[in-house]
Structure 1
Amino acid sequence: MTQTATQGFIVHPHIMTELPGPKARAMIARDAEVISPSYPRDYPFVMSHGRGTEVWDVDGNRFLDFAAGIAVCATGHAHPKVVEAVRDATGDFLHISSDYWHERMIALAERLARLAPMGEPAMSFLCQSGTEAVEGAIKLARYVTGRPRFIGFLGGFHGRSMGSLAFTSSKYTQQKGFGQTMPGVTHVPFPDPFRPLFAGADQGEAVLDYIRMLFERSVPPSDVAAILIEPIQGEGGYLVPPPGFLAGLRKLCDEHGILLIFDEVQSGVGRTGRMFACQHEGVAPDIMTLAKGLGSGLPIGAVVAKKRLMQQWKRGAHGNTFGGNPITCAAAIATLDLVESEYAANAESVGAYFMNRLRDLANDYPCIGEVRGRGLMIGMELVEADGSPAKALCDTLITRAFHHGLLLLSCGVSTVRFMPPLSLSKDEVDEAMSYLRSALDEAIAGPKG
């Protein structure tokens, strides 16, 4: 790999034009006239095609994709086995609706029942997205418990429809202007040992004590249907809870007859090196939500629940039109085949290698406050000299990385998140690290004269 310096910036041969290039600029201008401005676009990448971890824009510039469509492209872009499964399915039929039966829908649900971490028989409700999966989960929790209230966590992201939005609290902009969402949700802190909210205490136990205090003073536990939590918090900063916290939450729920819902939309399907992130702690949920990586890019979600809970739903209690679509089910089955056979293990091994490379980088850059995560769900938090979040530096780094040919996104206040395809190789890690180091140098140096 060769590179040259121009006007203080590194220029790589795989970047063929200025960014954005002329074709990209033209498409962005067309988009501005007809697409909602509510989509948060961080930098002007206009995709042409992709293979594995590599993607190309419409001007022929080549990038490494370490965002993977927000952790969606679990098996990489256009994996041949996923593409083949989709093509086979399209040759049969495109849609029949969930009012009827078909083989791929049943086969996917059977696979999810076998993989489910509940420790007892499970059933699934199939849908199209993570937010719809969360909506289904909270409806199920209310239905089977007869209770109206919930506990959520500050920093959590669970979707943008009005029920899931009631739990989402990673950025106030997601709620601003929409009035009251679903009532009955009380938020508590998510335990963060790097930025402890409770001084001089075990952060996990302190949060559990905080919930116990709420139960004594303002939230009757007999009114609480469920506690909803991401086993690793995503948008909130890629926060890994302290050991024992999820187990303590499970015990607290069991004490009060409260259901425990794990939102594994981002952390599930091999992302952390296990099929589900909760398996690192050996804690079983009552209900689990899946989406993102489940379909390798096709829109699919699932509510997976203990069978004794979901079978309480009566005919018509919950439904949809596109759930169990044969095309998305085919993609999900092929994805699970790949994740089970090789990619979860690859995420664990290559993720460990990547974490070590990032921690070596941190030794050279005091602005890297912490590297954390599991598997290929990794966060690198940037800090100012006083330890406060370095938001401006994080934003600049994301932009500079794009100009080097590395697609990244942020989370939390100042955390760079790495969520590449689970097929990632060590060579691709090494290539990305060279771009990251150059981008970080430029971000620290600031604008060139």
Structure 2
Amino acid sequence: MTDKSLHEQYGPKLVTELPGPKAKAAVEADDRLISPSYTRSYPLVAKSGKGVRVTDVDGNEFLDFSAGIAVTSTGHCHPEVVAAIQKQAAELIHISGTDFYNEPLTDLAAKLSAVAPMKGPHRFFYGNSGAEAVECAMKLARYHTERQNIIAFLGAFHGRTMGALSLTASKPQQKRRFAPLVPGVTHVRYPYAYRGCTGGPQEEEAFALGCARYIEEKLFKTILPPEEVAAIFVEPIQGEGGYVVAPANFMRELRAICDKYGILLVVDEVQSGAGRTGKWWAVEHTGVEPDIVCMAKGIASGMPLGICMSRAEIMDWVPGSHASTFGGNPVSLAAALATIDVLQREGIANAARVGRLMLERLNGWKETHPLVGDVRGRGLMIGIELVKDRATRVPATALRNRVETLAFERGLMILGCGETSIRLCPPLIVSEEEATVALDILEEALTIVEKEHSREAEMEMAGA
């Protein structure tokens, strides 16, 4: 199949200028009525979705490589997920799991227990979001250990509710004017090798190990008594922080520190879990077993569901200690059960295969595209870090944003992450052909920005 025919068959279909007239009206209404705290990168006004495609209110069809921020893991409106939702909605829309029993609660727990990244038995708490899963883990860690302090990492994003926000250390705007936050949280450096060292693999391994050992060698000997630390919260791959992958030796060292001092290791798999990395959980790539796992986003294909899973002996709190009216909603549970079936049958293996092909091509861009400083990721959780200059690694935030806009104008939905990175997180059912077309569009946008940047640099030099 020629590139032209590939794009004709698998590419986006744009029928109006962007934004179209209906989209413009919707954006104007949004500006009047909706909270200005939301961040929108470009004027995409969605109406419907199917698979890897989103159609806007004007009939323009886009390739979606953001998946609702890594949420629509089985694609938009997967027929099996839709059927499960419709069937459950006709039978029982709500019964609070806090006060009544509901078979799907245990059906889903059994399925998740079977794929847990740590030895069982396990217990589960259901909420509505990733932030709620993190809130649960924070409270549970303090309750079980009877300790008050928690360690988290710079660059982390764990949510925006007050407890989760206290762990978050991604952007200052997320915390500005919301203090005081929950006390007892200490942040340390995450092993972001591209921003921490300039050497080869051996230096990167030493850097990662040093980030973990700092906890024991510095914190525990200066300001933080280890016997008062309840948990270490870590993303195996930082999401909002830039899709930064934690090396295996870093995770192993965290596990060793936790074991030595009786600290719980909590992995936030809200964005990296549910098969996105080609395994059920990103932490599985490191060989480390956590004590608690926080999950949400892709676990229910877009229905609101957050889950905290722990080793059974850890979830030892008594009735009334923690609850959620809507957590474990029957319709969300039905969506999650159907999602697991699709992911186990095809989604996880496809994420590994297509993600590997995408990374192979993208790694070549580090040689052919001067703005590409780093490419990293696992499966279909891929980050591309843009820099103004490879030698100095100066962040290129404005240029990254320009690439996003140009991609949108060509029918590709992507999002940024971190200070200067692009994230690629399409549905796990994306085809090789769709991935090829998406990367073609992204490369075209990147090439345009590189030319613009080069001309601006030449003009600056001429002016000097």
Q: Same fold (TM over 0.5)?
A: yes
In 2: Cα distance, 1:278 partner to 1:149 partner: 23
State the secondary structure of the residue aligned to 2:187: strand
Q: Figure out how many residues of one structure are paired with residues of the other and give that number.
A: 440
RMSD: 1.7
Contact 1:112 1:124 in 2 (8 A): no
In 2: Cα distance, 1:56 partner to 1:203 partner: 45
Provide closer, same or farther for how the CA distance between residues 97 and 203 of structure 1 changes in structure 2, counting only shifts above 3 A. Answer: same
Once the two structures are TM-superposed, the CA of residue 361 in structure 1 deviates from its matched residue by 2.9
In 1: Cα distance, 2:155 partner to 2:12 partner: 39
Contact 2:303 2:335 in 1 (8 A): yes
Contact 2:255 2:288 in 1 (8 A): yes
5 Å matches for 1:124-143?
A: 124-143=124-143
Once the two structures are TM-superposed, the CA of residue 433 in structure 1 deviates from its matched residue by 1.5
1:339 is matched with which residue? 343
Contact 1:133 1:303 in 2 (8 A): yes
1:227 is matched with which residue? 232
State the secondary structure of the residue aligned to 2:237: coil
In 2: Cα distance, 1:125 partner to 1:209 partner: 32
Contact 2:350 2:429 in 1 (8 A): yes
2:302 is matched with which residue? 297
1:163 is matched with which residue? 163
Is 1:69 the counterpart of 2:40? The answer is no
Which amino acid is 1:117 matched to? P
* TM value normalised by structure 2: 0.92
State the secondary structure of the residue aligned to 2:375: strand
5 Å matches for 1:365-404?
A: 365-385=369-389, 386-404=392-410
In 1: Cα distance, 2:451 partner to 2:42 partner: 20
5 Å matches for 1:46-445?
A: 46-98=45-97, 99-196=99-196, 202-212=206-216, 213-310=218-315, 312-385=316-389, 386-445=392-451
Contact 1:198 1:206 in 2 (8 A): no
Contact 1:125 1:303 in 2 (8 A): yes
State the secondary structure of the residue aligned to 1:166: helix
* TM value normalised by structure 1: 0.95
In 1: Cα distance, 2:185 partner to 2:333 partner: 32
State the secondary structure of the residue aligned to 2:245: coil
In 2: Cα distance, 1:296 partner to 1:168 partner: 24
In 2: Cα distance, 1:30 partner to 1:145 partner: 49
1:138-190 superposed Cα distances (whole Å, 9 cap, x missing partner):
00000000000000000000000000000111110000011111000000000
In 2: Cα distance, 1:147 partner to 1:301 partner: 25
Which amino acid is 1:302 matched to? I
Which amino acid is 1:37 matched to? P
State the secondary structure of the residue aligned to 2:167: coil
Contact 2:154 2:189 in 1 (8 A): yes
Provide closer, same or farther for how the CA distance between residues 445 and 114 of structure 1 changes in structure 2, counting only shifts above 3 A. Answer: same
In 1: Cα distance, 2:289 partner to 2:156 partner: 20
In 2: Cα distance, 1:346 partner to 1:222 partner: 44
Contact 2:248 2:287 in 1 (8 A): no
In 2: Cα distance, 1:243 partner to 1:309 partner: 25
Provide closer, same or farther for how the CA distance between residues 136 and 60 of structure 1 changes in structure 2, counting only shifts above 3 A. Answer: same
State the secondary structure of the residue aligned to 1:60: coil
Structure 1, 183-192 or 439-448: larger mean CA deviation: 439-448
- Consecutive unaligned residues of structure 2, counting only runs of 5 or more, are 6-10, 457-464
Once the two structures are TM-superposed, the CA of residue 48 in structure 1 deviates from its matched residue by 1.2
In 2: Cα distance, 1:137 partner to 1:119 partner: 18
In 1: Cα distance, 2:427 partner to 2:12 partner: 23
2:40 is matched with which residue? 41
Once the two structures are TM-superposed, the CA of residue 319 in structure 1 deviates from its matched residue by 0.2
In 2: Cα distance, 1:233 partner to 1:122 partner: 25
- Consecutive unaligned residues of structure 1, counting only runs of 5 or more, are 4-11
Once the two structures are TM-superposed, the CA of residue 120 in structure 1 deviates from its matched residue by 2.1
In 2: Cα distance, 1:37 partner to 1:208 partner: 38
Structure 1, 221-230 or 206-215: larger mean CA deviation: 206-215
Contact 2:227 2:262 in 1 (8 A): yes
Contact 1:65 1:420 in 2 (8 A): yes
1:8 is matched with which residue? none
In 2: Cα distance, 1:259 partner to 1:22 partner: 53
In 2: Cα distance, 1:121 partner to 1:362 partner: 45
In 1: Cα distance, 2:79 partner to 2:435 partner: 22
Contact 2:237 2:244 in 1 (8 A): yes
Provide closer, same or farther for how the CA distance between residues 197 and 369 of structure 1 changes in structure 2, counting only shifts above 3 A. Answer: closer
In 1: Cα distance, 2:74 partner to 2:426 partner: 9
Once the two structures are TM-superposed, the CA of residue 94 in structure 1 deviates from its matched residue by 0.6
Once the two structures are TM-superposed, the CA of residue 198 in structure 1 deviates from its matched residue by 9.8
Contact 1:229 1:262 in 2 (8 A): yes
Contact 2:414 2:424 in 1 (8 A): yes
Once the two structures are TM-superposed, the CA of residue 240 in structure 1 deviates from its matched residue by 0.8
State the secondary structure of the residue aligned to 1:244: helix
State the secondary structure of the residue aligned to 1:417: strand
1:276-320 superposed Cα distances (whole Å, 9 cap, x missing partner):
00111111111110000011010001000000111x110111001
Contact 1:203 1:242 in 2 (8 A): no
State the secondary structure of the residue aligned to 1:237: coil
Contact 1:193 1:242 in 2 (8 A): no
Which amino acid is 2:82 matched to? V
In 2: Cα distance, 1:323 partner to 1:252 partner: 33
Provide closer, same or farther for how the CA distance between residues 78 and 388 of structure 1 changes in structure 2, counting only shifts above 3 A. Answer: same
In 1: Cα distance, 2:207 partner to 2:279 partner: 25
